[in-house]
Copies of this chain bind each other. A is one copy, B any other.
Amino acid sequence: MPPSPRDCARRVLEVVPSVMRAVRAEMRRHRASDLSVSQFRALVFLSRHEGASLSDVADHIGLTLPSMSNMIDGLVERRLVTRKDLPADRRRNTLSLTRAGREIEEAARAAAQSALAHRLNALSASDRAKVAQAMEILRPVFVEPRNVERKRI
């Protein structure tokens, strides 16, 4: 008997916040990088979208522009990100990771992944496969669903 969308949603609602709490705790625990989850996500996005604008990042992470401007201020001060004007359109920013930013991003991701992996190690290989598959099912639904809307335009 397949679960209804509502039943599936109930389970997601019960479990995902706890998973997220573990992720957040791990980010905090790893003092070396000491990034918030949002900061970490911004770095990940920039590592994949070299030269993205502020709006691009804000849009992807789901923060308002002022919040993102603030966050990037912090990352620039920490010398993890550079912010330059885009000559072609001087309203826009071009954001890039510095070498240190790239290193921190990789270190933070490795640390968080290790901690999560340690927990997931309690699962059988087949259960891990199921979890991994579920993530790929959820990815298009929740990660950058804006792309879908944009294509519609």
Contact = CB atoms under 8 A, between A and B. Distances in A.
Interface of A: 2-23, 25, 37, 41, 62, 109, 112-123, 125-139, 141-145
A116 B13 contact: yes
Q: What is the copy number of this chain in the assembly? A: 2
Given A128-B2, A128-B5, A141-B123, A135 B18 contact: no
B137 A6 contact: no
A153 to B, nearest CB: 19
Given A20-B20, A134-B133, A15 B128 contact: no
B23 A17 contact: yes
A137 B17 CA distance: 15
Given A113-B6, A117-B6, A12 B142 contact: no
